[in-house]
Amino acid sequence: MTILDGKKVSNDIKNEIATEVEKMKQRGEKVPHLAAIIVGNDGASKTYVNSKVKACERVGFESSLFRMSSTISEIELLDKIEELNQNDDIDGFIVQLPLPPQIDTQKVLNAVDPDKDVDGFHPTNFGKMALDMTTFIPATPFGILELLERYDIPTKGKHTVVIGRSYIVGRPMSILMGRSGFPGNSTVTLTHEFTKNITQITSQADIIIIAVGIPDFLKGEMIKDDAVIIDVGITRVPDDSTEKGYIIKGDVDFENVSKRASYITPVPGGVGPMTVSMLLKNTLLARERHRLRKKEK
């Protein structure tokens, strides 16, 4: 069994991006600029956004963080998004989810300029991804593809089962794993909360990608020997025996599943670190696109 070390691969990618940024500086080019909007005081969101700011520093990007009150109106937030859309200095930006109940999340995501949508959530980018056109791939699925590629895990002709159908992970993964090329060319089954006889399906899978947010959902008896397991889940489970009062768990019963798997991502240290690195990679792509567009004009 091989551990898919997202932390190591993520560091490799950051080093590659830092090298690229250094070359840009030497050529006298503008370095990429990533911005983030965070609304309210959600603890997990703050941690995640702070890790993005640190990652930007590490690779030599410029970064901006805009903190908004949890009582902000939808109109005020949309105005801020439009301001960033119009700011030529910013190459890409994200609106950290979740958003407060008074705000329509889809309306907000639709307001982001597709050319700056480095999260890959805008319908334009999602549609391009589905049509196999060049676009921003959502950061977590992009990270999973990168892990499969760097560990040279065969996907052609394999049966991939995706558990979870969110537009952030499950649905894009089901499209990407079935596309032409590598990683891809696999036969995909997309499962969710209403899927009957799920064990019957998972036990036939060569590759399982799970993102349901239910700790230990995938058990050892649900997989076949030598399956490849990608665990996207990350849940804080209360545990009084630890200093923090909780432990981090994935959607996979790691102890038992790892005994049968050929490759598996740990939680933490698997898919999580990859997400931030791929967001940086998308921002680098955005900067290059904007530079070429300006050159054409």
164 is in an annotated binding site: yes
186 is in an annotated binding site: no
Q: Are strands 246-249 and 235-238 parallel, antiparallel or unpaired?
A: antiparallel
Domain boundary among 60, 77, 112: 112
Does the annotation count 119 as an active-site position?
A: yes
Domain containing 142: what range? 137-271
Q: Is 280 exposed, middle or buried (0-12, 13-18, 19+ CB in 10 A)?
A: buried
Does the annotation count 96 as an active-site position?
A: yes
Same domain flag for 42 and 92 = yes
Query: pTM value?
Result: 0.94
Residue 16 located in a structural domain? no
pLDDT recorded at residue 251: 97
179 is in an annotated binding site: no
Same domain flag for 141 and 108 = no
CA dihedral 273, 206, 170, 212 (to 10 degrees): -80
Catalytic residue among 5, 96, 251, 253: 96
Catalytic residue among 117, 119, 206, 253: 119
Same domain flag for 167 and 63 = no
Structural element, H or E, at residue 78: helix 74-86
Residue burial 34-56, b: 16+ Cβ < 10 Å; e: rest? bbbbbbbebeebeebbeebeebb
Same domain flag for 56 and 103 = yes
166 is in an annotated binding site: yes
Looking at the structure of the chain, the number of domains it has is 2
Report CA 203 to chain centroid distance, whole Å.
26
If DSSP codes are grouped into helix, strand and coil, which group holds residue 114? Answer: helix
Residue 225 located in a structural domain? yes
Q: In this structure, what DSSP letter does residue 126 have?
A: H
Residue 293 located in a structural domain? no
- Mean pLDDT of each 10-residue bin along the chain, 297 residues long: 97 98 96 96 82 94 95 97 97 94 96 97 96 95 98 98 96 97 97 95 98 96 98 92 91 97 97 95 96 81
Same domain flag for 33 and 82 = yes
Same domain flag for 78 and 143 = no
Q: Residue 42 belongs to a domain with what CATH number?
A: 3.40.50.10860
Residue 5 located in a structural domain? no
pLDDT recorded at residue 104: 97
